[in-house]
Each structure stands twice: as structure tokens, then as C-alpha cells.
Chain A
């Protein structure tokens, strides 16, 4: 009996003391769903997510690689005739803004808030901020060159502004220069770089080169519309002594051979083959005896020759061409470890060549930079035989002194060849440098006036979710309305 009473008292006591716990919040927090994340993970994720989208089969392959006429369609050819799927713009737009751009903003906010010191273990606060600003600038330029005006100054403010206004493309470009300058002046090159950096492993000296090179690209793109500001920014970058000059400096995202960290093109090609070499690209490379042909494409199985598929075929006509009859993408292009390119040395030299042609203070002559750019690009694609490169450069159709056309055409054509696998850059430089080469769709364009689109239409999502700002920005935004920077 006594034992039982003792037990009852004990039980009541136990219940009474556990009834109101002070650690209520703690036991109701799920340790498997953390609400905070280390900046290093965010940075890795942002770098990968950006490249995953750029090389994605819809945003990258169907839209950019075809619009720049590097590839043609085997089937579902509508994008190659400028009929772009609405969903692609929706998902790319959402994934850039609510993905990497927001992740980078979170890192910036963590490192500039009241608790910034808590995060200095992941790299100097200023360096984490600088790297994120440079990557944001890269992505905003990517988006603006596709759409024109975009939300930038009011974007990424979370619930405090769910309908950000659009900045004009001019405001975006001025903002890009500010963002890059802020990063370059804010970073501490001798300090610790950010953890989780898959591009340069936290080497801030390399990030300074990236910043100056990106600044050069941004400046050059606005050279025709705002030459004063463009020249000042470009000369500052070229004279900085810190620029992506050799392939060892390239800003690359290294994919691995196997899923899930392989290049999205490789993953897509495992289950389908919607693309082939375009005749625009193949015919031009063939006319120059370009040694990159064998890297970019594989010979046609049927003939053993390099044969491009006609660009811009209707679905019916594209379906009539057997895969074996045309050149497919090269084995290295379809490999899992094909790198994602943020910036490469060939671009720097093409930009420097252009600066020299514009009479700006560059580093070497236009011709020297032009030759360096081509050589570096050959090296990048694994062509190291200097004699072969020299022979290529000596051809009348390639040599800077004898190639056809004005400087914008000479540089533009070779730059287009070198920008293979950077579809958006190839398309942007086509619009800006007006070097020709790209042809009308064989079976006619399905949107616009038949010329290569000057921009993409905004995602439908913005019509419904950000209507007032979308409508203000989209007035005068149709396929053939030129970019702000495209005045020639």
C-alpha cells in the first residue's frame, strides 16, 4: 500500500513538473530543417545554380545556343524560328531572382548586418560581400541583355517590396558599374576569401581580375550609346594590371563527370537529342579551315564530313533530316565535365582589341589582342599546336590586316566563333557588333519581322504578379525593339 502511494505521488509530481516546459520553442524546432545556413553553402549553390540555368536545355540550348545560330533543331524547331516557350522565361526569371541573386543577397546582408562578425569565419566580411556583388553584377547583365529593362535597384527586398519597379537598361548598366566598382574598392586582396567558392577557391586576387574584366565587358557593351562613361570604365579596367589575361585566370564553374554535378547539357543528352550543328556555324568554320571544328562538332556519321543542319527549319522539315546525315555536337561538348564559363581570357583580348580600335588606351595593338584572343581560345579548347594556330592566323580570311570588313566585323566574327558555348554572349555581340553571318530562318520566322530577335519578351508571370511595373517596362518591348546599348 505504501509503495503504491509513493508511486502515485511520484507520478503526479513528474506530470506536474513536465506540464509547462520552458524549452517549448526548442522542442518544437525541427533540427533537420535549419532556418540559418552558412554563407559558404549559399555561395556554392549560387555559383552552381547560375551555370545550371545558363546551360539548361531550355534557357541555354533552345533559346541562346539557337538564337546565336551555333545549333539547329532536330525536332521541336520553334525556338530556332524565334517562337520561344513562355514557360522558359517564367522559370529562368524566377530561378535567377529567387535563386542565386537572392542567395548572394543573403550573404551580403549577413556580412553587413549587426552580426557581421559572426560570419567573418567564412572569409573576410568585405571579401564575401565583394564576390557576391560581382556575381550579382554578372547575372543582372545576363538578364538585362536578354530582356532590356529589369528590376534591379528595387529587387531582392523580400516582403518589404513584392512588386519591384523596373530599372531602364541605362540605369541597369550604370548600376552594374557602381556595383563592380564598389566590389573592387571594397575587397581586401590580401585577406581571406569566401568559403565555398568553386570558381577561384577564395583567391581574391583572381576575383579582382574577374571584377576588372567584367567591368571591361559592361563598359564595352555601352560603348556606342555612352562612349564617355564606357571609355573611362574600360581604360580603368585595362590599366588596372589585374585582368583575366590568360586561360589560367578564367572564371569557370567546373562540373564533374557524373550526375548530379554534371553539366546540364550532358544530362539532357542522355535521354534526348534535339539539336545538331547549325549550317551557319559549320559553313563558316569550314571556310576558315578552323581547327576548332573537330572540338565543337563531330563529323556526320553518314558522310564522314562536317555537315551543318539548315538553320530555322519547320518542324516537318527538321524531322526529315536524319541525325546521321548532319554533324552532332562534339564529344567534349556533351561530356559531363564541360565547364560552365563565367568569363574567359579570349573575351578580355577581344575587348582590348576593340578598345584599341576605338582609340582608347589599351594594352597592346588591336591586331596583337586579336591574335592573342584567337590563340587563347584555341588553347582553351585543347588545340595547343602553335604552328597550326599560326597557320590559321596567317590565312588571308583570318589575318587581321587582310580579313574582310571593318574592325567590328573582323573582331565580331572571330569573337562569335570563340564564344561558342556562351550563347547569350554570342547573341549579345551579334546585336552590338553587327558582323553579319547569321542567316534568316530557312522556313521563315514565327515571331517578329524575321530578323534575329533583339530581345526576349518578359515572362507571363510578371504580367500577373507585377502588372503595373511590367506594363510600364514592356511598352515598346517587342522582339525587334533594340537594346538601349544597340544604337548602330
Chain B
């Protein structure tokens, strides 16, 4: 049995003769006894068990602003903004369960661990010095952590969108831009594309002919067995093939873990209602014609080659992208009429 506790504070305000609406929601919710298929060590003889396990907490704010800045007899402009920020945390799991693994692919795992948000990626990361420089070994290859560490999370920090709607006489225009800030995606298209040399960057700057000296500080192992920077920048050249194998996500998983933020022009449409005077002799009424487009452009993103949004789904298993088909751009034409 899954239990759910929800608390909400929801002031809803309207100002200026209903020309401005503010809707603010603050909520906290706690979900207990989640039903999980929990992977267990195969040495038990089984690879998973079904448990009522754990408690998660969601805290968030949702803000919706909408208004009509201009309204005259022939012209009306509506604009709206909505923002949602949610903070998720797995508070606890069942006794004896340290973590729940959703899935694992090429060494990267997606897990739920107490203290972290649900859906955290674990894998090997680069080693860094205190100034944030990557550490490089004596042969010119990046060093990686000994153990898997958290390298990203599927959940966005904030999502939202802006819409606008303009009407002048019989002509109307609307547009919607939406965005996601934060969240993380592991891209196998990038990983294998670099590994196999099919992406443009594997041939740019004469890297195949001349190799590459990666940016980072040469490290050496201290007496405690930890790598520390020597303070000397790397000068060792390695071949492109070695670079795109050892320095990329197949060996150092964090190398192909990307920020999933985006801003998209989601929709635009333009409609024209034919005036009644033009249609009076026809057997139709309320005729409108229009054009619309959806998924028109990605205005900003931080991951090369792919659309970061395609790796999302409604299940626990998400955030892995590989050989995706891009979202379709749809452009269409509308004709509406009443009989």
C-alpha cells in the first residue's frame, strides 16, 4: 500500500480590474511505502526483490502569472509566465537497503539513494585538483575516480514557459516558449559517436593526423595513494583514437554526462477569422484559416548533437539517450468552418 500526504498553500490573487492574475502554490508532499522492484546482489541467488521501500519528500513552488497589458476595442495582448521548481529527496529506504538501482547501462547506473534525489546517475568521474583542473597521468590520459560517484540527476531544477497571444481585429497570433533548467542526461550517441569516429569533432583540427594534448594538470600519486597535481600542465600528446576511447564516457562515464537544460520555441500559430460580411452568401459560417508550427526550434541547449528532452519518460528509467530520433517538427495549415 502506498501512502501519500499532501499539504498546499495556494493564494490566488487578481489585481487591476482582473487584468493581472497571480497564482502561487507552495507544497510539500511525502510519499511512503513506495513499491519498488529492488535489485539485490546476485550472490543471494536472485537479482531483485519486490519491497515496500522508503519515503520520498517533494517540496516545491509553482508560480503562474498572467496578464493583459493592452486591451482596446480592436487589439488585445495577453502574456503569461509559469514556473515550477521542485526539490525531491529520498529520505529513507527499507531497513538493510542502501540503494535501489533502476537500471545500468555500459557501467553507468541510475539509482535511488537516501539523501539524494530519486534518479541519480553513478559512474566514474574525472579527478580534479582544488582549482577545478582535470588531472592527467604521465602518459597524457585523464585520471578517473577509483569508485563510482554521483555524476548527475535526471530531475530538472526548474521548468517553465512563456506564452503570448496577440489579437488584432480578426487576426490572432500566439507563441509558446518553454524551458528546463538543470537535470542531466547520459548520451550514448555522443559516447559511441566519438568512440567510433563518426562525429565531426573526431576529425576536426587535424586531430587524426596530429593527436591531441588534453587540458589538465599532470598528477602523481602521493604516499596515501591519492593523485595530486604536480602543478605542471600536461604536454603529452595522444592519438585521436586513444583520446576518443580512454578520455570518453565508456571509460570515464562523466565525460558523456551532460546538462539537460534547454529553451525551446514550442509552438507558434497565426489565425485569421473571415469577417461575417465576406461569408454571408456562403453555406458556411465562422470560417477561419491559419498556420501553425510545433517543435520549431531549440533556442539553447548544453549537449551537442542531440535533443536533451528526448531522454525523458514517465518511468523511473530515464536519462539515457542513445541513437534517438529527434522530436518531429510539425508545420500545418488549418481551415475551420461551421455548417
Contacts and interface: CB of A to CB of B under 8 A. Distances in A.
A403 interface: no
Contact of B96 (A86, A97, A158, A163): A163
A87 B107 contact: yes
Contact of B44 (A150, A159, A461, A467): A159
Contacts of B40: 159, 162-163, 465
Interface string B96-133: 10110100101101010000000000100000000000
A408 interface: no
Contacts of B109: 460, 464
B47 interface: yes
Interface in B19-49: 39-47, 49
A159 B46 contact: yes
A161 B42 contact: no
A480 interface: no
B318 to A, nearest CB: 19
A316 interface: yes
B45 A464 contact: no
A158 B46 contact: yes
B39 A465 contact: yes
B73 interface: no
Interface stretch (A98-106, A242-250, A320-328): A98-106
Contacts of A155: 43-45
B122 A464 contact: yes
B120 to A, nearest CB: 11
A219 to B, nearest CB: 25
A422 to B, nearest CB: 24
A159 B51 CA distance: 11
A164 B148 contact: no
A379 B96 CA distance: 55
Contact of A87 (B106, B239, B241): B106
A466 B49 contact: no
A487 interface: no
Nearest to A157: B44
Interface in A297-346: 314-316
Interface in A420-471: 460-467
A399 B165 CA distance: 95
B77 interface: no
B42 A93 contact: yes
Contact of B41 (A87, A102, A315, A466): A466
A464 B101 contact: yes
B45 A465 contact: no
A158 B41 CA distance: 10
A161 B109 CA distance: 23
B209 interface: no
Residue with the highest number of chain B CB atoms closer than 10 Å, among A87, A162, A164, A314: A162
A70 to B, nearest CB: 25
Given A86-B107, A90-B104, A460-B148, A466 B46 contact: no
A211 interface: no
Contacts of B45: 97-98, 101-102, 105, 155-158
Contacts of B42: 93-95, 97-98, 461, 465
Given A94-B42, A151-B43, A464-B111, A159 B49 contact: yes
Contacts of B99: 464-465
Interface in B41-75: 41-47, 49
B41 A163 contact: yes
Contact of A164 (B44, B98, B104, B242): B44
A408 B39 CA distance: 45
A151 B42 CA distance: 10
B245 interface: yes
B106 A466 contact: no
Given A156-B44, A315-B245, A316-B239, A464 B49 contact: no
Nearest to B40: A162
Interface string A127-169: 0000000000000000000000011000111110111100000
A325 to B, nearest CB: 21
A17 to B, nearest CB: 33
B148 A102 contact: no
Interface of A: 78, 85-87, 90, 93-95, 97-98, 101-102, 105, 150-151, 155-159, 161-164, 314-316, 460-467
11 contacts: A85-B107, A86-B107, A98-B46, A151-B43, A156-B44, A157-B45, A158-B45, A158-B46, A162-B96, A314-B242, A466-B41
